[in-house]
């Protein structure tokens, strides 16, 4: 996609180490992994909620609202 080769990745790694320091990199990677895990969990919970809402919609739409005027009413 981006076409990064070994040399570019090495430069990026050096910049990251300079910015964050070698001691904080494991903590940074751990927190990034935990964030990704929570994100995936939220996505899966959201999709399961959407599926249950879609399953309930046909049952709700089949019930008619008595206050809604019908098309067969004549004035």
Spell out the domain ranges in the chain.
25-51
Task: Determine the average pLDDT of the residues in 63-69.
Answer: 58
pTM of the entire structure?
0.47
Give one DSSP letter per residue of 5-36, joined into a string: -HHHHHHHHHHHHHHH-TTTHHHHHHHHHHHH
| 3-state secondary structure at position 46 | helix
Mean pLDDT (whole number) for 56-63: 59
In whole angstroms, give the CA distance from residue 43 to residue 54: 17
Specify the higher pLDDT residue, 1 or 2.
2
| 2-58 residue pLDDT tens | 677 889 989 998 998 898 888 888 898 899 999 999 999 999 888 887 777 777 776
Q: Quick one: pLDDT at residue 3?
A: 74
């Amino acid at each position: 996609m981006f076409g990064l080769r070994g040399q570019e990745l090495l430069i990026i790694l050096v910049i990251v180490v300079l910015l964050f320091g070698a001691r904080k990199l494991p903590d940074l990677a751990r927190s990034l992994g935990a964030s990704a895990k929570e994100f995936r969990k939220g996505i899966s919970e959201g999709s399961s909620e959407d599926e249950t809402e879609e399953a309930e919609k046909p049952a709700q739409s089949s019930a008619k609202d008595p206050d809604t005027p019908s098309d067969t009413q004549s004035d």
